[in-house]
Amino acid sequence: MELIENLSQIKKPYHNAAVAIGNFDGVHIGHKELFKQAIKEAKNIGGVSVAITFNPHPMKILKKKRPFYLITPPHRKAELIEKNGIDILITIPFTKDFAQLTAEDFLEEILIKKIGAKVIIVGNDYAFGKNRGGNLAFLKKHSKRLDYQVKGISDITGTSTERISSTKVRKMIAAGKVLEVKQLLGRFYKIAGKVIEGRKRGGATLGFPTANIEPEDQLPPASGVYAVFVNHQKDIYNGVANIGTSPSFEDNLFTIEAHIINFNKDIYGEKLGITFIKKIREEKKFANLSELSEQIKKDIKKGEEILLKWRN
């Protein structure tokens, strides 16, 4: 897959580009339908399939006062889009100036003249341009004049009647519904981050060493204890992760800590991937460290039982 991170890299329009447009945060199964359509249309017209997205996410620019966490950081999003078979991924830098670009200018100057779009694929509710001035009806209105086709993708509903969206995925992750969100993503939710120093109580005090993860700009699941798979380099280990403030320690320090089962390596400063499979229990405060240690043993046993079902 060809990666374009700035429009200046495009020296001439692509030949017969079938273009899917969206933020694609999460790359959920609804997004995958757009990619399938782009690939299909590209084959029909003897051209290339293109996905257009933005970095940073527009919400980070347009609503700065609200904290906004990603489901998939840019590099992970690119990996997932590539797996879906797209030929070219164009990531447009989203700035305050770009946010002022009208829908008309985005369509004519960028999609048509710069990229060479001959088919444009969007979700039925997708909006773009200053004040969200462009949508499916707007694209259809101008299609004959600018000589392109438009494909609107109907909502994908999965197992419920509520449409699948990045917002719905985000709400489920924030609620700790990591097993259920697999139906929307088509995979388990995963975060990645560097191992940093934590409380230093896991191994020395409790007998269960933990890796304290400083995550990338990703949404953490709700506080609680989870069965997880841990990626270290090329290996995958069973693990149990605790997210939250660990109330038994009373320091109100929010952490993401993973106990990697049957693992004994110094990994400070290294990167780990944490794949969340199922929530085991809520966080709770224990009367003493001995009681907490006994609960961790139970969590590990329960976690291994859960992971046995999902390990390939």
What confidence score (pLDDT) does residue 33 get? 93
Can you tell me the distance from the alpha carbon of 61 to that of 224, in angstroms, rounded to the nearest whole number? 31
Taking the chain (312 residues) in consecutive chunks of 10 residues, what is each chunk's mean pLDDT? Answer: 96 97 95 96 98 94 82 96 98 95 97 98 92 94 97 66 84 97 96 84 65 91 97 95 81 86 90 97 85 90 94 71
DSSP 50-112: EEEEEES-HHHHHTTTS---BSS-HHHHHHHHHHTT-SEEEEEE--HHHHT--HHHIIIIIII
Predicted confidence at residue 297, as pLDDT, reads 92
pLDDT of residue 237: 96
* Number of CB atoms found within 10 A of residue 46's CB: 9
Closest Cα partner for 246 from 236, 255, 235? 255
How much is the pLDDT for 251? 67
Predicted confidence at residue 107, as pLDDT, reads 98
Q: What pLDDT does 99 receive? A: 94
Tokens standing for residue 247:
């109330």
The residues, ordered by sequence, that sit 6+ positions from 100 with a Cβ below 8 Å of its Cβ are 130
Cβ–Cβ < 8 Å for 212, 257? yes
- Looking at residue 155, what is its pLDDT? 57
Q: What confidence score (pLDDT) does residue 95 get?
A: 94
Which helix (DSSP H) or strand (DSSP E) does residue 303 occupy?
helix 289-310
Amino acid at 10: I
Domains of the chain, each with CATH number or no CATH: 2-153 (3.40.50.620), 188-310 (2.40.30.30)
Instruction: Report the candidate in 128, 79, 78, 88 with the shortest Cα–Cα distance to residue 105.
Output: 128
**pTM of the complete model:** 0.91
